Chain A
Amino acid sequence: MDQARKSSNTQLTQPVQTIMAEPKKMTRDPEMRKSLLDLMPGETAIIKDVSRTNGAATNLMEMGLTAGTPVRLVKFAPLGDPVELKVRGYHLSIRKSEARDIVVFPQDRD
């Protein structure tokens, strides 16, 4: 979001070359990162990358959170943390600190 605002600003002040480069990157950027935590409770998305979760990656993947797997953010715990996920037909609880680093493909709302 920040980047989008920044690029619209730069359109007015920056040289032409960068203007041409940036919006193109924005509109069809497959690299745009979306975190699992950006989902609303009840939403489902496809996992893109777990390797950024520092130290927990192998553990999370062993539990089935591998790239290409659909995952649903079921709910947040009463105190706001951890989160409950549904993956591969079962329920899993991880902390926000890990969920934040799990990258998912942006998807339309159900």
Chain B
Amino acid sequence: MLTINNSSRRKFIKLSSLSAGGLMLSFKWSGAGAKTPEVFKPGAIEGDVVFNNYLNIATDGTITIFSPNPELGQNIKTSFPMVVAEELEADWKKVKVVQAALDNKFDRQVTGGSGAVPHSWMLLRKAGATAKYMLIAAGARRWGVPAAECHAADAFVVHKASGKKLGYGELAEEASKMPVPENVTLKDRKDFKIIGTAVRNVENKNITTGKPLFGLDFQREGMLIATIQRPPAFGTKIKSADIAAAKAMPGIVNVVQFKNNVAVVGKSTWQVLKAKKALKITYEKDGSVESTADHEQLFTTLMDSGKATVRRKDGNVDAAFKNAAKIIKAEYECPFIAHNPMEPMNFFAHVKEDSVELAGPSQTPAGARAAVSKLLNIPENKISLELTRLGGGFGRRLKFDYVTEAAEVSSLVKAPVKVIWTREDDMMGGSYRPAVRYRFEAALDASGTMIGYKLRGVGINAGNSTREDNFPSGAVDNLLIDSVEYESPITTGPWRAPITNFLAYAEQAFIDEVAHAAGKDPVQYRLDMLQKARTNPAGAIKYDIARMEGVIKLAAEKAGWGKKPGVHQGFSVYFSHRSYVAQVCEVAVEKGLPVVKKVFAASDCGQVINLTGAQQQVMGGIVDGFGHAMYSKLSFKDGASEQNNFGAYRLVRMKEIPEIEAYFVDNGIDPTGLGEPALPPTGGAVANAIFKATGKRLYKQPFIEQDVFKKA
């Protein structure tokens, strides 16, 4: 049993009765255990230091759990309340889940970095457990029995000896006046009734009946619609804008220019979209106007330019390569890709004299509010932000450019406005997954052991395109990882599993090539490297060797690795965002072409909260990783993307998906996140299986453009 000492936070807990009756607990959500990557920096404003959450129990027994984090399909709105309900001993059927608006009382109201569940796990449990103890105390006092003789089950407090029981609703009022317990004992995981089970998405009914849930569905009395013409090419700016014809079109209320944008504001979507086409804007060069052909040249030049930033250096790489019995070298390259959430960017803003109302889909609502505050010079406490459901995010909505646009347009036209992006706006509008080229080099001794390893990444607006402390760092005595950064006007941003969404493929394909050159089984080769990292580590090891071994062995076992004659299997394993996923891909050759048939996945994300949601994250992550590795790319000509909608830009569709079997390691550790980790290993598993099937290595994405997919 796990006992949590509440005394340190007791002073932050306050209780008050709801006017309508019932229990309202206000928690201070400080001192989070798990360390999570920072995806936004809260502004230095009063209130952003203190965070809270609320759990309500009404006198009719309804339990309302507020879900603070943005829901974009990672199923947080179901899994967060499951954790609270578990410790509360709630009856799940009586739980009502409400999406909370942006509020300083919440901690890390962000969706990104696969961090929400790891960050909030203990806090959510304490929230449920503390309320449960107070309800038990209220029941015990009513009956005049010791609280220790009572327990809670299915939203009732029960006194077993006398057979008395009272519902939470009946006790809520009294419980709210009970002293807050010094210590709460959390449940032993073997007693979990909700956590780890399959609980259907709480929004299924609303989604399947078309209820207005998303930002694009948001309506307000008097709301105008705005569409924005942005520069069609990166590295250009407005030279002149003739807005007269657009302004004269039916339904158009105003046309305003701001920065390098022209906003067409009107009464309906179709009218503003038509008027936008009537804008006559000329653009001029404002920086480097780049094409994909330029980037190909840049990759080649910069790879050998010597301007690299060293990220990690262990041992003596030069000596290792000098003494090598064999050297393997390969380069891998990926294109820019767009996020393409199905719901395009949009946001509602109503800028009034001294306050602002915002509503819409954002992964970082606090960051968006801070940016609007800065833009309009209106204090954050005068800005409200209502979170709608997000029709996908994939990292795109970590940026809030579309939120500040809405605020700026509303402020200019002095009316409530919803800014909507078209698909073309979205795909041409930047914030892409950066294009990167990697060069890997491995030095092997006579026995095939890797004695030297070099990785250089050259990225376009990628920042550090390596993850220098990931495997195989620690498993190779002599290692050098560095990166070259190139700044381009083509904007980039975090894309689901930033950097690792491509790096994992390149690395795992390279390890496979090395194992093959060493004449070793690729799975055993990885296990041998991990054993070396354990017994004789080189430098710091920042991944969990046992967890990585665990998923490797489980995936190999479930897939029947090496035990299926005639089946072409490829292996991959990757650690990202605190979790571990190994995958085995199976490829068949049909009509002379490789066909990806199946992927087995073994994931270690610690405790699974919601089995159905976890399977969705793994299966969706694999489809996402597979689809983008196979089909997707954005290329550029004179600063403009050559693909701007789903006609030219290919996304994976139903008939192309492999079958998937998803397994989870049950090791009893606290949850470590699952929104991203299943995606990175997929490209490598697929490429390695295609090599087994065809004898051809894939060095460039999208795979579909490579020779192996072209008919002879």
Query: Are these two chains actual partners, yes or no?
Result: no
